[in-house]
Amino acid sequence: MITHPDRQADLRAPHPARSRPSGSEKVPLVPPLTGRDRWILRMLHEHRVLTTNQLAELAFPTPKIARRRLAILHHYRVLDRFRPLRPRGSAPSHWVLAPAGAAVLAAEAAASVRDLGYNHQQALAVAHSLHLTHTLGVNEWFTTLTTAHDPGGRVTAWWSQTRCQRLWGDLARPDAFGRYTHTGTVFDFFLEYDLATTALRRVAAKLHGYGELARTTGVITPVLFWVPTTARETNARDTVRKSWERLPDPGAVPVATAAAELLAPSTDPSPADRVWLPLDATRASRLHLRELAAVWPRRTPPSSDIDAEPTTTALGGQVMLAPPPPRPPTVQGW
């Protein structure tokens, strides 16, 4: 849940994977994949790991249909899965890209699996990563925003931390980049997702990178800080403001903060709700995500090129697939 994210300390080693057939046994061939299946492969390549619940919300009409289709893709080794142990209750299956799925993506890009930067052991290593809950938290944030019941609102871009690092990592390293549109208003932003596990001074220090990115590219993109509690937000605003005011050009780095604790549990909670407070706000009233677009007059108008499907490119010697759209193509049946 976006209002109660897991803590890394609550997770234990994942359940051991079931034994795989040896090389002498017959390996099932991959059946014809639907457009939604291929979208799932691209999403897992982009975002590393997604849970059954997240994929069900994003791509399937019901959780039952999601579990059935994902089990089929797992049977054909298109997807792999693991389940972290929890002190209480059970975790949903966590899905990662399997070798057969990576081969499908590579064939579509006319490249080799190695060119994609895919490694099966590295894909599974996320199960033991100390950043697993952070990665899942970012993915849950965007899943919730993408599936929110907000008439006129739509997520049209969701780029992973890995993609952001390849594009801007020498200057800034956001946890994600997003584009949100609402009745003609287009709002680009960088997301800084905080689980209260990092010292606030380190979080605030990232603003200098965003300042350099804005100066180098000439593009002013807001930075949104998402924290778990209002107490954490109050402390974060004080620390972030001090770093923000020391920037050569603070206006080139628009900042807003919000706390997950502010989301109403009795309704459909969403980051699009009225929970955002600009750092330079002169009033204490909170804003909807869509309203932030009108707050900063220096914000660079978003370009339209990322809404289209760009061709596969090579960056740093590695093939970079086009970012998948936040929702799969419309499909018939399951």
- The better pLDDT of the pair 219, 319 is held by 219
Residue 164 phi, psi dihedral angles, 5° rounding:
-60, -40
- The better pLDDT of the pair 21, 69 is held by 69
| Tens-digit pLDDT profile for residues 272-290 | 999 999 998 777 799 999 9
| Tens-digit pLDDT profile for residues 170-203 | 999 999 999 999 998 999 999 999 999 889 999 9
Burial of 173 (0-12, 13-18, 19+ CB in 10 A): middle
| Tens-digit pLDDT profile for residues 31-43 | 789 999 999 999 9
- CATH code: domain 8-129 is 1.10.10.10
Can you give the pLDDT at residue 22? 39
Residue 234 phi, psi dihedral angles, 5° rounding:
-60, -45
Structure tokens that stand for 253 in this block: 């780095």
Helical ranges in the chain per DSSP H: 35-47, 52-59, 63-75, 99-108, 120-125, 132-146, 161-168, 200-217, 230-245
- Domain range annotation of the chain: 8-129, 132-294
Among 155, 11, 29, smallest CA distance to 89 is for 11
- The better pLDDT of the pair 87, 81 is held by 81
Instruction: Give Cα separations from 129 to 126, 210, 278 (angstroms).
Output: 5, 26, 33
Q: How confident is the model at residue 330 (pLDDT cuts 50, 70, 90)?
A: confident
pTM: 0.89
Query: Measured between alpha carbons, how far is 182 from 35 in angstroms, rounded to an integer?
Result: 26
| Tens-digit pLDDT profile for residues 84-102 | 988 777 899 999 999 999 9
Query: Measured between alpha carbons, how far is 299 from 282 in angstroms, rounded to an integer?
Result: 18
